[in-house]
Chain A
Amino acid sequence: MSASDLPEQAPSAPGWRHFEHRADMGVEGAGRSPAEAFAQAAVALTAIVCDPAAVQPRVALDVACDEPDLELLLVDWLNALIYRMATERMLFSRFDVRIDDGRLRATIRGESVERERHRPAVEVKGATYTALSVTHDASGLWTARCVVDV
């Protein structure tokens, strides 16, 4: 049995990264607040599909999710983004997120998929409850993570 696919060390600064999952992909965002961690996790989600730096923030859309459990709210948020990516045929790179008492309100910015320029690698099917956590460390750094199905 291999011990692969285990999450690496906890993040020490705001940002995003992917973590290992044998069949799918883990997304992780870190920030000084749950809202910032969620925004970073959203960048990690886009990075599964393409280079976020290649996505111009031309068009703004509003996203709203209401869910008192912060972990379930993360899944709702990522699924709302997946839904917008699929139905608007868009990719997103800027996420301004506010979370207040289980109410998430966000403005997301991006542009229509251009296959030649974005070179999208894979579409995301849905965010899962696997390896799902929203936590913070002693320094107040929040980390939001889960596995997404691709």
Chain B
Amino acid sequence: MPTKEIKKFNFTKAYAELEKITTWFERDDVDLEEGMKKLEEGSELVKELKNYLNTVENKIKELKKENF
């Protein structure tokens, strides 16, 4: 039976983080200083997501009946 592996870079988590930042930026009282910090964090995340998708390959496995 296949098991869930923990990858070094968690795509779903990173994307969720990105969405959190977007929600933060959508509020009415955006603080400039904090915003600059979030922008920096977010840009780093964008870079990591792009980098991940550009470098990591899909893993393809053909299951035998006994895998189940």
Q: Do A and B come from one complex?
A: no
Residues of B in contact with A (beta carbons under 8 Å apart): none
Residues of A in contact with B (beta carbons under 8 Å apart): none
